[in-house]
A = this chain, B = another copy of it.
Amino acid sequence: MTPALTDLSSAELSELRSHLAAEYDALVARGLSLDITRGKPSPAQLDLSNELLSLPGDGDYKDAAGTDLRNYGGAQGVPELRSIFSDAFRVPVPQLLALGNASLTVMHDVVVHALLHGLPESERPWSKEQTVTFLCPVPGYDRHFAINEHLGIRMVPVAMTDAGPDIAEVERLLAEDPSIKGIWCVPVHSNPTGAIYTEEVARALVSLPAAADFRIFWDNAYAVHHLTDDVPAPIDILKLAEEAGHPDRVFVFGSTSKVTYAGSGVSFFGSSPANVSWYLGHTAVQSIGPDKINQLRHVRLLRDPQGLTDHMLKHREIIGPKFQAVQEVFERRLAPYGAGSWTNPTGGYFVSLDVRDGCAARAIALAAQAGIKVTPAGSTHPYGKDPRDANIRIAPTMPPLAELVEALEGLCTAILLAELEKLVAPPLVE
């Protein structure tokens, strides 16, 4: 068995260093151009929805109630599509809106409405508060954090566990800081760790004392994106919130971006009746209704909840082997040296890898010099700053399997080199 880096003698470290340096030089010499930065579906996955290119089809432009979907109106979206997704999101159809092509836009706009107008319970618009703070479970989703940063909302990191954010920490922070108005949650196959919130954590989140206009931004981006047969039971977060006496605490978001087409899907917003009214009141001046023909297209493609489940199984067939490859390469290349620890998600789009403290940025820079683009270090943390400089987000879905493996192999070389540098100064490669 290979000894861990920390168990090596100075001579052994030196020998390994020479070996890895040579390997790295060979890697650079190959002039690769590989990219595992973003959680994008691959062309093969997009192909699964190619019926969309000719749907809904000639003469098909009315919903079941006979409404002409080509015209203005219908701010709540096409009822049939909301029915298909109601169960997956555990939001009753009347409280589930089908909207435009990006849940990111809905999340951004909800924060903007809160800033400019406040929530129904707000004493004043959030922009009139001295400070507005969001709790940010880390590692987390960079685009959530970008919304906060861009809109001047203070971010406080909270540690993620396998069961969701550290509830004791959330409780302590909520108790001591009344400026906390929100928390970002990706409850199923969390970005990037793959953690699945337990019902216990969810119940705590909706129950803890907090500001009256505190909101859980429940971004259920991977609600149906499973990689194994071990499918978690959906959490009825709205019902839990109601039972906890905080019926208006939760905003549910979701989309078909990783179900159908990443750029041409449908987003969803679900919440309590009061919050849905609040949302629609603000969007009424912003829009005369979403693209309902695209929603009808999705109804025709997916048909019903079973159709959605079947469709997601085809994604699993394509991306499952890629996630397995991540485990295989890290097991083979990193584990023997005790380098790195990583998650093994049962769904979603990412693997979260932790390397030795202080080594993530260096490893990613080394990989970049060898033509392997990885998500920038720190991007899973607020303000792009990972205090330990340890977390690397792996996005395996986009590249073909062979390219993915090649990129991961190169990244492992870079990681081992970076970790060796930490143990044996000076840096091997400038």
Closest to A128 in B: B127
Docked Cα-Cα span, A55 to B293, in Å, equals 12
Instruction: Determine the distance from Cα of A72 to Cα of B61 in the docked complex, in whole angstroms.
Output: 26
Given A263-B290, A285-B108, A287-B105, does the pair A46, B70 have CB atoms closer than 8 Å?
A: yes
Q: Tell me, yes or no, whether A9 is within 8 Å of chain B by CB.
A: no
Docked-complex contact A150 and B282, CB < 8 angstroms? yes
Q: How far is the CB of A59 from chain B (nearest CB, A)?
A: 7
Q: Which B residues are CB-close (under 8 A) to A59?
A: 50, 53
- Cβ of A5 under 8 Å from chain B: no
Taking the full assembly, how many copies of this chain does it contain? 2
How many of chain A's residues have a CB under 8 angstroms from any CB in B?
Answer: 56
A48-86 residues at the B interface, CB under 8 angstroms = 49-50, 52-61, 68-74
User: Is A43 an interface position by the 8 A CB rule?
Assistant: yes
* Given A53-B58, A54-B57, A285-B146, A69:B263 Cβ within 8 A: yes
**Are A104 and B262 neighbours in the complex by a CB distance under 8 Å?**
no
Q: A151-178 CB contact bits vs B (8 Å, 1 = yes)? A: 1000000000000000000000000000
Question: Is A289 interfacial (CB-CB < 8 Å)?
Answer: yes
| Segment touching B, from A109-117, A268-276, A411-419 | A109-117
Interface centre among A46, A59, A102, A109 (most CB of B within 10 A): A102
Partner of A291, one of B101, B115, B127: B101
The answer, yes or no, to whether A288 is at the interface (CB within 8 Å) is yes
A293 CB contact (under 8 Å) in B52, B58, B115, B151 = B52
- Assuming A147-B285, A150-B282, is B116 touching A73 (CB within 8 A)? no
Any B CB within 8 A of the CB of A373: no
Q: Does A131 have its Cβ within 8 Å of any Cβ on chain B?
A: no
Task: Report yes or no: B71 in contact with A262, Cβ–Cβ below 8 A.
Answer: yes
**Which residues of B sit under 8 angstroms from A289, Cβ to Cβ?**
102, 263
The answer to whether residues A58 and B69 also contact, given A105-B286, A143-B285, A285-B146 and a CB cut-off of 8 A, is: no
Q: Does A294 reach chain B (CB closer than 8 Å)?
A: yes
Q: Is A41 positioned at the interface, with any CB of B under 8 Å from its CB? A: yes
Chain B residue nearest to A42 in the complex (CB): B71
CB pair A116–B127 under 8 Å, yes or no, is yes
On whether A290 and B101 interact (CB within 8 A), knowing A68-B43, A262-B70, the answer reads yes
A73 CB contacts on chain B under 8 angstroms? 263
CB-CB under 8 A from A69, the residues of chain B are 263-264
Question: Does any Cβ of B come within 8 Å of A100's Cβ?
Answer: yes
Q: Which of B116, B262, B293 contacts A112 (CB 8 A)?
A: B116
How far, in whole Å, are A108 and B59 apart by their CA atoms in the complex?
33
A38 interfacial by beta-carbon distance below 8 Å: yes
Contact among B38, B282, B288 with A102 in the assembled complex (CB-CB below 8 Å):
B288
> A181 interface residue, CB < 8 Å from B?
no
Please report the C-alpha to C-alpha distance between residue A146 and residue B109 in the assembled complex, in whole angstroms. Answer: 17
Chain B residues, Cβ within 8 Å of A100: 100-101, 291
Task: Check B287 against A70 for contact (C-beta < 8 Å).
Answer: no
A203 within 8 A of B: no
Nearest first, the 10 A-B pairs at minimum CB distance are A264-B293, A108-B286, A70-B261, A46-B70, A150-B285, A101-B291, A54-B54, A72-B262, A264-B291, A71-B262
A and B contact pairs by CB, cutoff 8 A, 10 listed: A53-B58, A69-B263, A74-B263, A100-B101, A100-B291, A104-B287, A112-B112, A116-B116, A150-B285, A263-B292
